[in-house]
Chains A and B, each alone.
Chain A
Amino acid sequence: QKEVEQDPGPLSVPEGAIVSLNCTYSNSAFQYFMWYRQYSRKGPELLMYTYSSGNKEDGRFTAQVDKSSKYISLFIRDSQPSDSATYLCAMIFYNQGGKLIFGQGTELSVKP
Chain B
Amino acid sequence: NAGVMQNPRHLVRRRGQEARLRCSPMKGHSHVYWYRQLPEEGLKFMVYLQKENIIDESGMPKERFSAEFPKEGPSILRIQQVVRGDSAAYFCASSPQAQRNQPQHFGDGTRLSIL
A residues adjacent to B (C-beta < 8 A):
6, 8, 32, 34, 36, 41-46, 49, 88, 90, 92, 94, 96-105
Q: Which residues of A contact B91 (CB under 8 A)?
A: 43-44
State the Cβ distance, A27 to closest chain B Cβ, in Å.
15
Q: Does A102 lie within 8 Å of B98, measured CB to CB?
A: no
B residues adjacent to A (C-beta < 8 A):
4, 6, 31, 33, 35, 40-45, 48, 55-56, 58-59, 91, 93, 98-100, 103-109, 111
Q: Does B108 lie within 8 Å of A43, measured CB to CB?
A: yes
Q: Does B103 lie within 8 Å of A46, measured CB to CB?
A: yes
Besides A92-B99, A97-B98, A99-B56, 14 more A-B contacts (Cβ < 8 Å) are A32-B99, A32-B100, A36-B106, A41-B108, A43-B4, A43-B91, A43-B106, A44-B106, A46-B104, A98-B99, A100-B33, A100-B93, A102-B43, A103-B42
